[in-house]
Structures are given as C-alpha cells and as structure tokens.
Amino acid sequence: MENKKRLRGGEFLIRESDAGDIFIPEEIDEEQKMIIQTCEDFLRTEVFPILDRIDSQEKGLMRDLIRKSGALGLLGISLPVEYDGFDQSFVTSMLASEAMGSGYSFSVAYSAHTGIGTLPILYYGNEEQKRTYLPKLASGEWAAAYCLTEPNAGSDANAGKSHAVLSDDGQHYILNGQKMWITNGGFADVLTVFAKIDNDRVHSAFIVEKDFNGIVINPEEKKMGIKGSSTVQIFFNDTRVPVGNLLGRRGEGFRIALNILHMGRIKLGGTVLGAAKRAITQSVNYANERKQFGRLISSFGAIKYKLAEQVIRTFTTESAVYRASKNVDEAIGELVAEGFAKPQATIEGISQYAIEAALLKVYGSEALNYVVDEAVQIFGGMGFSSETDVDRAYRDSRINRIFEGTNEINRLLVVDTTIKKSLKSGFDVIRYATHIEKEIQEMEENGGDMSYYEEKRNAIKNFKRIALLLLGAVSKKFHRDMTEEQMILFNISDIIMHTYAAESTFLRTEKLEGLLGKEKISIYRDILDVYVYDSAHHILKSGLDAINSFTEGPERQTLTGYLRGFSRINPVDVKAARCRIAARLIEENRYCF
C-alpha cells in the first residue's frame, strides 16, 4: 500500500485530510491521563486555595510553587531522560499545557519556565550547557526566564540595543542593556538573554545566571491581570558572561528567538483551553444557581446562547490545537528517522507549522477572550466583583492577545508566511487560484444530493477556494507592497483561520462518529453545524471587505460572484442546535465536550 504523504505546514489549504490522520483528545492514553490528573491535582491542592495570596505576590510563594511542581516531575515533561525529564511527545506536552492553563497567574509562570525559559537551552545548548542547567530546571531547583523585549523593541525584536563585547582576556562577554516585561524575572536563577555582539546586525543569545555581576532587577510591574506572575525590568551593567555561555552560534539569536516564538504560539493555543474550560464550568455553575423572575437564568435563551457559543469556540480551538500537535509529532518523528537529534528535530518540526502556530495563537486567545467576557456577563454584577474568579479570569485573559507576538503581527504572519512558504515548497497560491477559476464551471452543476459529511467537506473545500482566490488576487495586485495592505491581509487571515478551525472540527466529529457511532455524537454535529454555518457568513463578510478594498469594475464583479457562490451554505436551525448544546452543558453542570 502506498504511504500517504504527511500534510505539511500550510498545505491544509490545498490538500484534504482524512479523519484517521488527526489526533483528537478523546484518544488520550493512560499515561497521558495520569499526567493530566497530576497537573489537575496540583492546581486543586496547591494553587486554587491560595489564588489571592498568589495575586498579592507574597514573597517567595510563586518560586516555591515552581519548586513543588518540579518535585512532581511537571517541569520536565518535554525534557530528555538523560536530563531528568520524561521525554514525552509534543501532544502530551500540549495536554499538560492545557491542564495547567486553568491556573491563572501560576500557569504563566509555569509556561514561561517550561517553555521559553528552558527550551532554548534544550534546543540550542551544547552538551555541557544542557548537563549544567537542564536537570536543575527540571527539578525546580532553578527557575528560568527569557529576556528578549526592550523598551523600543517589542514586535520588532531585532531592533534591540543590548550589546556585548569580548573582554580583553577573551574569557568573557561584557553585556550591557535593558530588558523589560520579563516573566519570572524577579526570581529566575537563569536567564536567556539576547544581545548583539560588537556591530552585528542580528542578536546572539547568552545563558546568564542571576549571580553574575552587574545585574539589577527593578521592582515588580503593576499589571491589569496575571498579577501573581513576576514581571520586571532587568538591567545588565558590564555583566561578565563566560564565553562558554554563548547559546548556539554567534548571530543565531534571532533564529533562536523566532523558533521559540513558534513554539510559544502553538503552546498558548493549548494553554487557553484550560482557562476556557474552567470559565465555562464556572459560568454554567452560576447559571444553574442564580434565579431571576422566579427562574434559573440557565433557562433563558439569552444565557443558553452564551453558554453554547462558549462551548463552540472552545471545542473548535481544541480540535485545531490537537490536530496541529499531531502534525508536529509526525514531523519530529520523520526528522529523527532522517538522523536529526531529537532537540533539533523538535524545533524544526515546530517551525514547519509556523502558519498553524500563528493562527492558533490568534484564534485561541480570541476564543478565550469571548469565553471570559461572557462569563462576566452571565455572572452579572457578581462578575464585576473581585469576589469571584471570573473577575480574575477576565483580567488574566487579556494578555494572551499580546503574548508571543501581538495578534495583529500574527495575523499578518499567517498570510505572509503562507505565500512565502507556498512559493518555496511548490504549492504556488497564484497557480492554485488560476486553477480554481478554471474548475468553477464544472462545479456549477455538481450539486446533487450529498451525505452529511460530503456536504460539510464540500463547504470547507469552498472556504479554501475563497482563501486561495484572494491570496492569488492580492499577490498579483500588490506584489512586494502586499505587506503594506494590513487591513486586507487581516481579512484573508481571518478566512484562513475559520477554514482551519472548521476543517479541524469536521475531522474530529467524523472521527468521533467512527469511534462512538452516530447516536452518541449528535451534539458534536450540532457544534459543527453551527460553526460551519457561522463561518460561511464570517468568510463572506471578510471576503467582501477585501474585494471591495482593491478591485473595481468587472474584476470586482467576477470575484464577488465567486465569493458568494463558494460561501453559499445550507440552512441550519442554529437556535435549536445551540439550545441542545446548552442543554447538555446545563445538565452536566460542567464543561463536558
């Protein structure tokens, strides 16, 4: 039997996937369940009872929690066994990120330590550096932070002014500079610091210990949310860094930073799931207790709509996150088989899915934003009170649209990277756009009766056609100036995100039916029905906004005709579907999907 070629990053726009090729959370094995349970038990016993103490930044408390989580092995899930880790798959690390994601400020400290704090050393460190630092980071004996952002270098990270020069004796780099918004910076023992050596145009990276000379840590920042996490400015004043602490090669810092951002983006897509599911459970708990006009508010249609939409946005995010996570694991496996070391294979495997990572970061953070906002609304006046956790969830959520590159930057990356990668990898979007125009006539008469899944697959295929047509038209129109057309690119990016989420949810639902049978998955069909129906209308609006922004006359008329045809969708009784979704949630009184 012919081996099926793996779907590479961005190729979901031009190739179809089979349900059997994706991972869904319902397939987790016993070891993964144990890891998830350990994470949940830790939060329940060590974090949730002291949330107010955490948010008050009680001295030493967050550092102690990092140490305790390390004692349980929760800091070493992704690290190799030889460095006292558990060498788990990428999917498993995502499951742990999700479980920890409900931990409010602690989840930020945990994610920064296990992700951007530890992984640069794992992926780019030499053997001596790994053996020196990774076991201590895995155990929690040491805590880690990542120092990239500067006052005038946020989204444009390479604009940073921090610099390093070699000492006269050649034994140290003399590091000077200022870093800001450093998560875990107030208590971290080891820092990954980015600076330019001499007059280099790009950064290098250094492993800096807190006890090195010349390091000044400012007081904790006062923040809107994630109040319990440590966020500080750090100054390096003639800090002497041993030459052996250069991380990777000279000038490789920008590449390190970029690849770590890919990892952080896709991980954030998993982290928001834990926060969303907790907020949904709190929402339905309250709706099932609060009475108005003599009735539980969970019986009102307005509340049912909110509850159902919370579920839909979370379920679609989850479907997309674990689909991409399995793709990353497959890429890592292939690269290891080709002779790559596991750390290099991992970072390369993640970078292959930079498009998916960027869109998951945006889609997931905005899904959580909706969930917590409506949680406050369901709680009403109590939601605006600091007595309830939804107040904390609402404030903590906001940073996710800024973390790991703003959502605006990531929306641009989705389109820009899709076009660049398509040209490099051989699936030229302009060529595909032309091909689509040629096949439209034969599609006109090819309606007929279709099965449920055929209809959904066809709708999603049409969403892809819209994205490809617009990518081709915009590329042809603007060429190298395309990146200046940010509002148009945002429209196209939103179309691509809805398409990926819709297809991921479709594949998950189809796979679930194969595992459980049609009778047991009707509620997931409801989720899919509503999401594909809504997506068609969102895509139509985004497409029209784009087309009307750069075309006129016959070209506008032609593209508009294609857009309206491809976004046509069969009617769905969204009210009834949402009521059924809400009813399941209300009956279970917890997130149960």
Query: DSSP letter at 47?
Result: I
Q: Give the helix, strand, coil percentages of the chain, each rounded to 5.
A: 65, 10, 25
The residue type of 589 is: N
| Element at 527 (helix H, strand E) | helix 522-550
Pairing status of strand 144-147 against strand 190-197: parallel
Token code pair at residue 529: 């029905």
Token code pair at residue 100: 């920890």
Burial of 109 from C-beta contacts in 10 A (0-12 / 13-18 / 19+)? buried
Burial of 175 from C-beta contacts in 10 A (0-12 / 13-18 / 19+)? buried
- Cβ-proximal residues to 402 (8 Å cutoff; 6+ apart), any chain: none
Contact assessment for residue 191 and residue 162, using Cβ atoms and an 8 Å cutoff: no
**Catalytic entry in 330, 356, 404, 503:** 404
| CA 200 remoteness from chain centre | 32
Task: Please state, in angstroms and rounded to a whole number, the distance separating the CA atoms of residues 115 and 106.
Answer: 14
Which stretches of 22-165 are DSSP H helices? 30-42, 51-55, 61-71, 90-100, 105-112, 119-124, 127-139
Contact assessment for residue 103 and residue 74, using Cβ atoms and an 8 Å cutoff: no
| Element at 236 (helix H, strand E) | strand 231-242
Contact assessment for residue 206 and residue 222, using Cβ atoms and an 8 Å cutoff: no
Task: Please state, in angstroms and rounded to a whole number, the distance separating the CA atoms of residues 532 and 459.
Answer: 8
Query: DSSP letter at 544?
Result: H
Which stretches of 184-341 are DSSP H helices? 253-287, 301-337
Token code pair at residue 462: 């049409």
**Strand, coil or helix: what is 144?**
strand
Token code pair at residue 200: 């280099």
Task: Please state, in angstroms and rounded to a whole number, the distance separating the CA atoms of residues 584 and 593.
Answer: 9
Token code pair at residue 261: 């951002």
Task: Please state, in angstroms and rounded to a whole number, the distance separating the CA atoms of residues 489 and 481.
Answer: 12
Contact assessment for residue 46 and residue 65, using Cβ atoms and an 8 Å cutoff: yes
The yes-or-no answer on residue 58 being catalytic is: no
The residues assigned a catalytic role are: 404
